[in-house]
Structure formats: structure tokens, C-alpha cells
A = this chain, B = another copy of it.
Amino acid sequence: MKSSGFNSVFMQKALMLAAEAYNNDEIPVGAVIVNRKEQTIVAKAHNIMQKHNNSLLHAEIVAINRACQGLNSKYLENCDIYVSLEPCVMCAAAISYAKISRLFYAAADRKQGAVEHGVRFFTKKSCFHRPEVYDNLDAEKSQQLIKSFFRQIRKNGL
């Protein structure tokens, strides 16, 4: 669903970050955190699990950590997050805990996604902050990156 608040510039940036991750042999996911009112980038990241040998460093987690540090704020109520892929349960919870206002994501993730699939964390009683969610935004490019990445992984037997 397209929202009037959606700004395709930031989704394009998230997709560029995903492509950058791909070129660095990282799972191709990119995330951009935006000041909702000023429409400026607060923080951005791609997955850096391989680079830092740390399985928690998903794009969303790294972007939220950078935004909290940059703004010196525990909560990001005035921020939106743009992600190239449906967040997993860890990242969905992180987006909730950080009180991010709106979540825009590109491709769905039927296996590990936890927004419209799997755990559907934002619908749960234990979720105390629910962002507005807009999905399926410029999904094709993100899907292609993910498919190509995992095809390569299988081909190389990794």
C-alpha cells in the first residue's frame, strides 16, 4: 500500500545500500532512518554480519544503533524507517522498542519476516508500540537481489 508519507528517494537509498551489501558478500538488506518532519536521513546501514563476525548486525539494528547514538536518544518517535526487506522478529521488536513512527519496506520475506508473516509481532499483546506499516514498496529490485544472493550461496555450496 502506498502512503502519502512515503518518499521513494529513501527507499531507493535503502535499495542502494542493499546492493552495496550484496557487493560485500553480505545478505543484501539496507535500512534508512529518516526524520519524519524534516525528511532528512538520520542514519543508514546495510547488513554487516560478515564484516564484523556478528550474527545480530542486521541492517535495521545497525541503523537504529547509529540513530540513537547520533540523536543521543533512546527513542526515535519522530523517525520513519525504510527497509529493503520485511524485518525479521528481532528487527521488528527493535523497531517497536525504539518507538519508530512508520515502517516502509520493499519486499516481503515469507521465511523470516515477522511483520506480515511468521510471528507478526506488531499484532501481539506483548508489543507495546506499533509503527504504521507500509509494505510492498518497490519490491522487485529487493527481491531480485535477495534471490540472486541466495542462488549464489547455493551455487558455491556455502
Q: Could you tell me which A residues sit within 8 Å of B by CB distance?
A: 49-50, 52-56, 61, 64-65, 68-69, 72-75, 88-90, 93-94, 97-99, 111-114, 117-119, 121, 124-126
Contact = CB atoms under 8 A, between A and B. Distances in A.
A89 B93 contact: yes
Given A53-B74, A56-B61, A93-B93, 5 more contacts: A55-B74, A55-B75, A88-B93, A113-B126, A114-B126
A55 B74 CA distance: 5
Task: Determine the main DSSP class of A at the interface with B.
Answer: loop
Contact of A97 (B56, B69, B74, B124): B56
A97 B55 contact: yes
Given A90-B94, A90-B97, A64 B56 contact: yes
A88 B90 CA distance: 10
A126 B121 contact: no
A119 B96 CA distance: 15
A89 B121 contact: yes
A94 B126 contact: no
Contacts of A61: 56
Contacts of A53: 68-69, 72-74
Contacts of A98: 55-56
A75 to B, nearest CB: 6
9 contacts: A52-B69, A53-B74, A54-B64, A54-B65, A55-B74, A56-B97, A113-B126, A117-B126, A118-B126
A112 B75 CA distance: 18
